[in-house]
Amino acid sequence: MKRALVCGAGGFIAGHLVKKLKREGYWVRGVDIKEHEFSKTAADEFLVLDLREKQNCKAALSIQGAKFDEVYQLAADMGGMGFIHSAECEIMHNSMLINVHMTHAAATMGIPRYFFSSSVCVYRDMQPGEPELTEADAIPAHPDNEYGWEKLYTERMAMAYGRRYGMQVRIARFQNCYGAEGTWTGGREKAPAATCRKVAEAEDGGTIEVWGDGTAIRSYTHVNDMVEGVYLLMQSDLEGAVNIGCPQYVTVKELVDTVIEVSGKKIKVKYVPGPVGVQSRNFSNARIYSLGWQPKVFLKGGIQLTYPWIEAQVNAARQK
Ligand code: NAD
């Protein structure tokens, strides 16, 4: 039985990844600074550790008389655009410490395969209609925010440790990911979850506020597709960064309209100034497609899977 360590397993994507690895027959240890907020972990063992500390990274990677076959590093001080713009120092300090210590510990302890969750925030801003950027186009680098710079540095660090220590490193650049059991309130939620929450909280006939003017272009990848891509990439020989994202590009307005349609309510939308991030996105998925990956969930189907879960959270919070 293969053994996997999943870092960040108390969070959204890694929580789903643990379930995927269990379905694939792994023995899984999850680690996070906190327990999973929304469900009991599917991991065989769960450690609560602060991975900014070197000795905690070593402890997470140690098993008596054995070694992990695979390490998935998804722990990060993470949030949506509001958080990314207001917590630059926390991101650059905390996520960097986690990655510096975890990459070093994994390589020096002889871990054979190491996954790092990067982001399409490593790319520059784009204009609508620009041709796709490939992974190589991240250099020369001009990320829109400090979160992107931290990811880019960590990618390079992981590859350097891979070369020096013979560790197979796999790197995915995630597009926006959404689904059930993700942060939906509190300031760290991303646009799909924030929109679902606002619509769920609004009265039928009411108005919600959305940051920006609705024209920014994004792609949203459902978490089920994302974890399939992560697993496939980890089992592959594909070195270097690999974009994983749904090729359905939509405006923020289309996202908002889809959520409203799925809710069944009549809601008015007021676009207000706020942190929007880049204007446009368009990335090649050729590398992940070469492994046979294709998204199965598109925007409306994904919102149909996500909105009822967030609506239930909103209703439960009201009753507290
Ligand atoms: P998340 O916040 O739900 O999960 C991250 C987890 O890391 C959290 O549970 C958090 O508690 C944990 N963590 C933070 N600091 C820690 C510490 N010091 N020690 C141990 N654990 C700590 O975020 P997510 O959306 O599941 O993102 C997972 C990864 O994917 C992150 O690296 C993120 O940057 C990357 N990513 C996510 C998206 C997205 O759209 N969600 C897009 C691009 C990249």
Q: Which residues does 36 contact at the CB level (< 8 Å), separation at least 6?
A: 9, 10, 11, 15, 30, 181
Per annotation, catalytic residue among 26, 72, 114, 147: 147
Q: What percent of the chain is modeled with pLDDT above 70?
A: 100
Model pLDDT for residues 275-297, shown as the tens digit of each residue: 888 999 999 999 999 999 999 99
Ligand 1 geometric centre to CA of 141 (Å): 23
| Structure confidence at residue 229 as a pLDDT band (50, 70, 90) | very high
Average pLDDT over the chain, rounded to an integer: 97
Mean pLDDT of 174-201: 96
The confidence band for 209, taking pLDDT boundaries of 50, 70 and 90, is very high
Q: Average pLDDT in the 142-168 region?
A: 97
* Sheet of 241-244, strands arranged across: 45-48, 27-32, 3-7, 70-73, 113-119, 168-174, 241-244
DSSP-derived letter for residue 241 is: E
Mean pLDDT of 234-260: 98
**Residue 128 half-sphere exposure toward CB, CA atoms < 13 A:** 8
Q: Residue 199, class by beta-carbon neighbours within 10 Å (0-12 exposed, 13-18 middle, 19+ buried)? A: buried
Q: Quick one: average pLDDT of 129-142?
A: 97
Gap from CA of 8 to ligand 1 centroid (Å): 6
Cα dist. 156→105, 146, 160, 295 in Å? 16, 16, 6, 27
Residue 81 binned pLDDT confidence (cut-offs 50, 70, 90): confident
pTM: 0.98
Provide the pLDDT for residue 80: 87
Q: Which of 226, 263, 244, 247 is nearest to 299 (CA)?
A: 247
Instruction: Confirm if 221 and 177 have CB atoms less than 8 A apart.
Output: yes
* Contact by Cβ (8 Å): 183, 191: no
Q: Which two tokens stand for residue 100?
A: 């510096």
Catalytic residue check, 249: no
What is the residue type of 176?
N
Ligand 1 pocket test: which of 7, 13, 145 has the largest number of ligand atoms within 8 Å of its C-beta? 13
**How sure is the predictor about 193, in pLDDT bands with cuts at 50, 70 and 90?**
very high
Mutate to test the pocket of ligand 1, among 48, 78, 221, 244 (most ligand atoms within 8 A of CB): 78
Encoded tokens for 284: 């090649």
Q: What is the pLDDT of residues 89-124, one digit of tens each?
A: 999 999 999 999 999 999 999 999 999 999 999 999
